[in-house]
Structure 1
């Protein structure tokens, strides 16, 4: 009886062949894997190199942008400082301009005030002297005021000269009655009694109703007394009492007549 061989015995050559084939394939597969790995490493290195180059380019671009930004900032700061300087200069110019305008306005105001003052001085002014109201030119008023200031300072010569000049320059002046009266007083202060009488008589003869006329007559009597002309003095006092009996000058004349030789003073009667 023939004994049958196992199946695996007959199959041994096929197994060996397949093993050899697998061994060969495995060796080739190992070769393939190493090549792929190297290629992958090279690709990775290349990518890293490309990334580094790209990053370097980006960094350089960014640095260039930063440098440009810095330059722009510097330029902007320079422009800001320039603008600040220009603004400060303009502010200073504005302040100077404001001062100039203010000064011009002040000068204009002063000029206007001076012009108004000149016009005011040129315009006739209404004045009242001894109860008499009239219009007077500024220069005319100034001449009278200056003469009276001299009289009040007891500078009778200058006061009289000023009044004489006033009457010569302004023969129709409203100050003429007052000028005659104070001119007579000035001459009296200078002891020029004849000139004093002439000045007082201007007032008595030309302005009998003036408030100063009774006093002028009393002053005439005083001058006549100083000149030792007692007859003329008594006559003047009697005329004063007769014409202006209710005045203080008339009462002073009565008192003086009582002390003069030649009789009593005239009686008080009604009159001016």
Structure 2
């Protein structure tokens, strides 16, 4: 603008000095210079707008590059997650297959025991005479307490009969679940381990969340150990850990599994042959 003004001043001075320019020509020159002034302002504004657009395009380009890099990083992470998910899925399917196999073996074993024990029993030579109706207890709590006294005195058959009486005649008794559990205990103490397993299993089916459930499942596994069926016992102990991980029975089950594995490893160790010395 300074240059335009200087030029304008110079032109005016020249014209005045020369005295050759008419008034009309002078006005035309002033009009042309004013037009140039306006066009120059418009050009400056366009240049400013163009610069703003270039800056915005540069910023957008930088953002696009950063976004592209972020997308590539995210894509790489996603691919890693997909691979990890596939590995975990494979492990889960393998564990599910193994667990289903173990539980099927256990169910088959229990069904086999149940079929064996539901066969008609031979009548015993000595049978306890039935109590007279007037001698029978009517209060379920009294029957329950009497059964526990029999347990302490190792009269397991008598105790079992009283627990069974509670189950049969007093379905609303508050200690009914305990009666199912103690029936299993009577069989276990009599070393009737197959009957004990079925009694514990009946209790667990009815009351899987009862406070005595971890103990019942643990004793079921120990009964299989007593039957020399360590493979099934290991499956039962694993169920204890899976179902009741925070219980003391889970700790005992872990110890029992370690004992079973140790016994298997010792059975696999080859025996050293002792070379006999020959006399010369």
- Same fold at TM > 0.5: no
With a CA cutoff of 8 Å and minimum separation of 6, indicate the structure with the bigger relative contact order.
2
Q: In which range does the TM-score fall when normalised by the shorter chain? A: 0.3 to 0.5
TM-score, normalised on structure 1? 0.44
CA radius of gyration, larger in = 1
